[in-house]
């Protein structure tokens, strides 16, 4: 087999999975969603967007400090992917983690409180924006060394394999982490050990200010390189929540059935700077505007209304409800207690 053929094979011969548009989706027989499921996807994406907007405001007014990386623009990817997982699956991600946390259903109040550094935060104010954790939901962070979370995820998958558990581990990472040695080491390890892990690349075309064109040999697509590791892979339109959901569902099934890893490359875009301090000198605003045309917060509900799955009123009701959730979360975070100074030495060593 030539390497090109092999790539095609690994890409999951059905090209329909690579670029599925919302328009076609209802015709997909087995995957058609109920109205409630559609609305829940929209609600989650809108929740994330509004959470991020609130974070921006509270960074500006000094309630949130440190580094703040917003997920705005990538909602369809996180929500699509996590909506198709279940309770037995582990989630591991990087520092741009608010979207994944909320998509997994982590408590909005405690997430916001963590960003405010409060005692009521998920990590009692010890982790901050980049290190969100909720072990009770198998949400294992929030990791801020680029690429460092990859083997952690492989190890969690190893524990699932070792104990013969049903779940998989999904590991999110950015295009920037693919130039770390640890990325290649982990892909290889997962492949030789047949680990039940879903490598989920959020290719938003930039690692901080570096476009992939400037820092990556081998072109703009990452999934074909999975051929090297014999990891089946596919590409998905990361601005299309249904396509991402379906791709992830399929990947999960394949991982459990074939007992080996899978790789998804989701092409997406962050609408905002890398972190709050970013003036975006490295990119042209035209590019941002072009991607904003695909904004899932606007496009998806519009499609749902066009397809008569929902109404404008229903969408507005959801927005109102979510806006209240967010303002309540900010209020909760604001009013929460600071951690006590006596807690400095807690949570270092386990009994």
Partner 1 sequence: MSEITIREALKIALNEAMEKDEKVFIMGEDIGEYGGAYAVTDGFLKKFGPKRIKDTPISEQAFVGAGIGAAVGGLRPVIELMSISFSLVAFDQIVNMAGNIRYMSGGQISVPMVIRAPTGAGVQLAATHSQSFETWLAEVPGIKVVCPSNSYDALGLMRSAINDNNPVIFAEPALLYGSKSNVPDEYFEVNLGDANVMKEGDDITIVSYGYGSKVLSDSAKKLEAIGVKPELIDLRSLNPIDYQTIIQSIQKTNRLVLVDTARKTGGIMAEISANINEKAGEWLDGPIVRVGSKDVPWPYNKSLEQEVLTDSNNILETIKISYGI
Rule CB under 6 A: which residues touch ligand TPP?
96, 144-146, 174-177, 204, 206-208, 274
Give me the residues that bind partner 1 (CB under 8 A), please: 90, 92, 121-127, 131, 133-136, 140-143, 145, 148, 150-160, 162-163, 181-182, 185-186, 188-189, 192-193, 346-351
Residue closer to Mg ion, measured from CB, 151 or 238: 238
Answer for which of 204, 227, 233, 268 binds Mg ion (CB under 5 A) is: 204
Output the smallest distance, CB 206 to Mg ion, in A: 5
Pair 51, 111: CB distance under 8 Å? yes
The interface partner of residue 159, options being ligand TPP, partner 1, Mg ion, none and the CB cut-off 5 to 8 Å by kind, is partner 1
Q: How far is CA 217 from the centre of its chain?
A: 25
Q: Are 82 and 91 in contact (CB under 8 A)?
A: yes
Q: Which is nearer to ligand TPP, 8 or 287 (CB)?
A: 287
Rounded CA gap, 263 and 138, in Å?
20
Closest by CA to 223, choosing from 11, 6, 1, is 11
Count other Cβ atoms within 10 Å, centred on residue 175: 23
Question: Cβ closer to partner 1: 184 or 294?
Answer: 184
Q: Minimal distance in Å, beta carbon 146 to Mg ion?
A: 10
- Residue 73 contacts Mg ion per CB under 5 A: no
Identify whether the C-beta of residue 91 lies closer than 8 Å to the C-beta of residue 133.
no
The Cα 123–Cα 71 span in angstroms is 20
Segment lying near Mg ion (by CB under 5 A), choices 27-35, 170-178, 233-241, 295-303 = 170-178
274's contact among ligand TPP, Mg ion, partner 1, none, with CB below 5 to 8 A by partner kind, is ligand TPP
Question: What are residue 172's DSSP bridge partners?
Answer: 200
Q: What is the 3-state secondary structure (H, E, C) of 151-175?
A: HHHHHHHHHHHHCCCCCCEEEEEEH
Binding site for Mg ion (CB under 5 A): 174-176, 204, 207
């Amino acid at each position: 087999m030539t390497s090109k053929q092999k790539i095609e094979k690994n890409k999951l011969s059905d090209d329909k999975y690579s670029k599925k548009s919302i328009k076609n989706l209802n015709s997909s027989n087995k995957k058609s969603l109920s109205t409630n499921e559609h609305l829940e996807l929209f609600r989650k994406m809108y929740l994330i967007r509004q959470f991020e907007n609130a974070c921006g405001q509270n960074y500006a007014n000094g309630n949130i400090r440190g580094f703040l990386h917003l997920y705005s623009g990538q909602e369809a990817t996180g929500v699509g992917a996590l909506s198709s997982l279940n309770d037995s699956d582990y989630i591991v991600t990087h520092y741009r983690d608010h979207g994944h946390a909320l998509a997994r259903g982590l408590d909005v109040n405690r997430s916001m409180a963590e960003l405010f550094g409060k005692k009521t935060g998920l990590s009692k104010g010890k982790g901050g924006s980049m290190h969100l954790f909720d072990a009770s939901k198998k949400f294992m962070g929030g990791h801020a060394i680029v690429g460092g979370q990859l083997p952690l995820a492989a190890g969690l998958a190893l524990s699932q394999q070792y104990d013969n558990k049903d779940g998989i581990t999904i590991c999110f990472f950015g295009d920037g982490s693919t130039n770390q040695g640890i990325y290649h080491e982990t892909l290889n390890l997962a492949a030789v050990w047949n680990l039940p892990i879903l490598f989920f690349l959020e290719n938003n075309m930039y690692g901080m200010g570096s476009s992939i064109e400037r820092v990556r040999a081998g072109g703009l697509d990452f999934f074909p390189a999975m051929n090297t590791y014999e990891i089946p892979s596919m590409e998905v339109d990361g601005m299309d929540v249904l396509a991402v959901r379906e791709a992830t569902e399929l990947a999960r099934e394949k991982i459990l059935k074939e007992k080996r890893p899978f790789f998804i490359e989701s092409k997406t875009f962050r609408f905002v700077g890398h972190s709050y301090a970013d003036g975006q000198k490295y990119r042209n605003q035209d590019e941002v505007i072009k991607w904003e045309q695909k904004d899932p917060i606007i496009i998806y509900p519009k499609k749902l209304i066009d397809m008569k799955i929902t109404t404008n009123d229903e969408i507005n009701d959801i927005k109102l409800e979510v806006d209240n959730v967010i303002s309540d979360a900010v209020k909760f975070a604001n009013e929460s207690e600071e951690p006590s100074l006596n807690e400095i030495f807690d949570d270092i060593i386990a009994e």
